[in-house]
Structure 1
Amino acid sequence: MTTSSETQKLIVITGASTGMGASAARELARQGFHVLAGVRRDHDADAIRSTGIEPVILDITNSEQVAALAARVAHDPRALHALVNNAGVQVNAPVEALPMAQWRQAFEVNLFGHIAVTQALLPALLRSKGRVINISSIGGKVAMATYGAYAGAKFALEAVSDSLRREVAPLGVQVVVVEPGGVRTEMATRGIAAANHLAAQMTPDQDERYGSLVQATNTLMASGTASGLTADAAARVIAKAVTTRRPRTRYTAGRDAALIMRLTRILTDRTLDRILAVNLRRHYPKGATPAYRG
């Protein structure tokens, strides 16, 4: 929980229209912070606006909107306690079949946009000795089949977080990574729809190679999401990273995330490949033969 001296400090949360971002905005506002909640559309702003939550129109890939956010923070007499880089987009397709424009878009939203917002707000965070909370994923440690673009950006975000932490720790700014597993949000639903749209654009040869894999991955994603954390539970982990006086450098959110993170530290790549393949195999369409047999 926050102390009385922390109340009414500013928090910036990107991607706050739904899911973890919206839940984190509500939780931190409840704890006494004034939350600048980044949303992309006016109707999303109307939906989240409430006591302690001030919506800000923000597409993190739009330099003018990022600059406007920085100006909003700079002109507020309250200190900026934390930036929560939460905005993201789910992109799932085989490496061979994902168009380069989609690769670039995935990195623009899931990596470069976060860097742009961080650069814009670091002067305020340096003045307040605040912190940066980067929302990564178990995909930032393990890249499953069809997750190349998404995991690639998250792996990069993990590396940037490490570098930034070592740069600004001597200046009093803390950098924390939150790594959720399956979370029941709209992002996964949109991700499955996007994966099906991309799959429909594959060539016949690509469809023969990867069609069943995409179906299995979508089924696994839906299953993991349905059994995952609620957005409110994930938001409590984010709030802990924001408010704990001496936070860890990384927090997992969900039992699946904690398990996978432990496995990555003790298993060889080949062993992990086999475990992932066995787990995916049961989600293949009936009669389909997985390309990877483990």
Structure 2
Amino acid sequence: MTKSSESPELVVVTGASTGMGAATARELARRGFHVLAGVRREADGKALLADGIEPVILDITNQSHIAALVARIDGDPRQRALRALVNNAGLPCAGPVEVVALDEWRRLFEVNVFGHVALTQALLPALVRSKGRIVNISSLNGKVSMAGYGAYASSKFALEAVSDALRNELAPHGVRVVVVEPGGVKTEMAGLGLTSLSRLSARMTPEQTTRYGALTQALPAHVAAFTEAGVTADIAARTIAKAATDRRPRTRYTIGAMTAFLIRAARFLPDRVLDRMTNSDLRKYYPAGSAVARPA
């Protein structure tokens, strides 16, 4: 992908306030792009402001924010092309399918799926003109779902499906669509999901507590261990930037050795074998002495 130091092409990165998004904005700016970095608050933008990074207030579920971003790109004073859109914004969620409230499911899909679709639809005219690129940040959970992660995984499975359709629809028009699938990454996002999990546990009925109490107690330790074993946001950002800039990109990039292994295993292993693998790992974090139901 070509760029000029005199007139660097534009790249949009959503969810750039912290973590992978902020690291990706910095990495792409370092590579010579002018990054429109989507943030939710003015303070986040000030912390991110640097050469090549222009913070923009962007809630991807807010149509007026999206319209303002389109106007900023279409009215760019230097008439720079939009080279890539990195759909990174997202919400975490943990908890059993039965007890995650429907409003939480809807909010999760509003951000993790519909918000990305809305922004992609709005920016596609500019991306088609430039023969640019869309990079959708999925997850290991976009390919492998397990107990306690159903809602989040569902939203990422949906983003994977949207990406596959877009890749085929846009290939004739010169727009590449790439998926990045991170596993554990050392960011603040995991902690946000656990905050909602503690509220969910407090709302469970006695019957639900009997069914899922041990699981909900295990999830924080499981998430913490997975995150701690993961890569830094800066390492993840280098893979995302590669997906955005490779001349002949792959359709998918994974981040982390365990992620790559599990995604490959999910393609070939029978469902029940994969279930035993994921449940065995999760059971290590169950409270001592708790009864653990085995899958049929």
Give the equivalent residue in structure 2 for 1:235: 237
Query: 1:117-156 to 2 correspondence within 5 Å?
Result: 117-156=119-158
Give the equivalent residue in structure 2 for 1:53: 53
Q: Give the distance between the partners of 1:64 and 1:209, measured in 2 at CA.
A: 43
Q: Deviations over 1:191-241 (max 9, x none)?
A: 112211211111111111101101212211110001101000000000000
Q: Give the distance between the partners of 1:47 and 1:162, measured in 2 at CA.
A: 35
3-state DSSP of counterpart to 2:203: coil
Q: Which runs of 5+ in 1 are unaligned?
A: none
Task: Compare 220-229 and 2-11 and name the one that shifted more.
Answer: 2-11
Give the equivalent residue in structure 1 for 2:279: 277
Match for 2:82: what amino acid? Answer: L
3-state DSSP of counterpart to 2:247: coil
Give the equivalent residue in structure 2 for 1:218: 220
Give the equivalent residue in structure 1 for 2:102: 100
Q: Deviations over 1:228-262 (max 9, x none)?
A: 01000000000000110010000001111101111
Give the equivalent residue in structure 1 for 2:26: 26
Q: Give the distance between the partners of 1:189 and 1:98, measured in 2 at CA.
A: 17
Q: By how many angstroms is 1:292 displaced?
A: 2.8
Match for 2:54: what amino acid? Answer: E
Q: Give the distance between the partners of 1:46 and 1:106, measured in 2 at CA.
A: 27
Q: By how many angstroms is 1:147 displaced?
A: 1.2
Q: By how many angstroms is 1:86 displaced?
A: 0.1
Q: Contact 1:61–1:113 (CA<8 Å) still a contact in 2?
A: yes
Match for 2:107: what amino acid? Answer: Q
Q: Give the distance between the partners of 2:271 and 2:254, measured in 1 at CA.
A: 21
| TM-score, normalization by structure 1 | 0.97
Give the equivalent residue in structure 1 for 2:188: 186
Give the equivalent residue in structure 1 for 2:66: 66
Q: Give the distance between the partners of 2:12 and 2:218, measured in 1 at CA.
A: 37
Q: Give the distance between the partners of 1:62 and 1:145, measured in 2 at CA.
A: 32
Q: Give the distance between the partners of 1:273 and 1:252, measured in 2 at CA.
A: 21
Q: Give the distance between the partners of 1:5 and 1:118, measured in 2 at CA.
A: 25
Q: Which runs of 5+ in 2 are unaligned?
A: none
Task: Compare 127-136 and 59-68 and name the one that shifted more.
Answer: 59-68
Query: Kindly, what percent of the aligned residue pairs are identical?
Result: 61
Q: Contact 2:58–2:65 (CA<8 Å) still a contact in 1?
A: yes
Give the equivalent residue in structure 1 for 2:268: 266
3-state DSSP of counterpart to 2:273: helix
Q: By how many angstroms is 1:276 displaced?
A: 0.9
Q: Contact 2:3–2:33 (CA<8 Å) still a contact in 1?
A: no
Q: By how many angstroms is 1:172 displaced?
A: 0.4
Match for 1:13: what amino acid? Answer: V
3-state DSSP of counterpart to 2:27: helix
Match for 2:41: what amino acid? Answer: R
Give the equivalent residue in structure 2 for 1:17: 17
Match for 2:208: what amino acid? Answer: Q
3-state DSSP of counterpart to 1:224: helix
Q: By how many angstroms is 1:291 displaced?
A: 2.4
Match for 2:32: what amino acid? Answer: G
Count of residue correspondences: 293
Q: By how many angstroms is 1:286 displaced?
A: 1.1
Q: Contact 2:214–2:286 (CA<8 Å) still a contact in 1?
A: yes
Match for 1:253: what amino acid? Answer: I
Q: Contact 1:176–1:241 (CA<8 Å) still a contact in 2?
A: yes
